[in-house]
Amino acid sequence: MFLKEGFAAVSMSAIAARVGGSKATLYNYFPSKEELFAATVSARCEQLQSIIYEVEAESLSFGETLKRFGERVIALFLGDEGVAMFRLVVAESARFPELGHLFYEMGPNRGHERVAEFLSHGIARGALAPGDVMEMARAFIDLLVSDLHKRRLCNVAPEPSPELMSRNADRAVRQFLAIYGTS
């Protein structure tokens, strides 16, 4: 409902009616609409974290792990739901600045922290040169979504195909490793 109607337009009553429960029950779980939105954002962030864990478990080379992770990040960020979430936050954060702060802390910032943790393993394995892993994480995500994110937000590009995601991830990994790699 948040994605389709916007944060301001959705009421807790409407949400309760949609899920088939009472407003009182909804308020027992989420004391405010902001907290419900925070839980939604947190769940999205957990998707990103689960992607990293899934890829790490595949026991591939570091470069191939980065590429697989990159493809999944592109799909998550640039899929219809990811783009709709980003548009919603940008549109609503002018009226509700706390929403923008909440989204950034629970979404992008937590995601960068988890990617930084993953990259620190790359440093420990000798695949990456030592450095500021948060800076590296932000750089890698930026390389992955690059210009595609702007094009998706402006409705000038459709959801990326698996082939485009693979090419973009491959390019991003090559560029990232050229900057931060050890070999």
Q: CA of 12: how far to CAs of 19, 22, 99, 100, 133, in Å? A: 11, 10, 16, 20, 40
Mean pLDDT (whole number) for 58-63: 80
122-142 pLDDT tens trace: 999 999 999 999 999 999 999
Quick one: pLDDT at residue 180?
97
Bigger pLDDT: 74 vs 2:
74
Q: Which residues of 58-67 are buried (b: 16+ CB within 10 A; e: fewer)?
A: eeeebbebbb
Angle among Cα 11, 88, 30 to the nearest 5 degrees reads 40
* Mean of pLDDT over the chain: 87
Domain range list for the chain: 37-180
Q: What's the CATH fold of domain 37-180?
A: Tetracycline Repressor; domain 2 (1.10.357)
Phi, psi of 72 (to 5 degrees): -75, -35
CA-closest candidate to residue 111, choices 142, 67, 149, 65: 142
Residue 136, C-beta contacts closer than 8 angstroms, at least 6 positions apart: 116, 119, 128, 176, 180
Q: Based on the number of CB atoms within 10 Å of its own CB, is 28 exposed (0-12), middle (13-18) or buried (19 or more)?
A: exposed
Cα 7 to Cα 4: distance, rounded to the nearest angstrom: 9
Mean pLDDT (whole number) for 29-51: 78
Using CA of residue 153, residue 114, residue 137, residue 57, what is the dihedral sign?
negative
Cα 48 to Cα 76: distance, rounded to the nearest angstrom: 8
Q: CA of 32: how far to CAs of 69, 100, 158, in Å? A: 34, 16, 35
Bigger pLDDT: 55 vs 82:
82
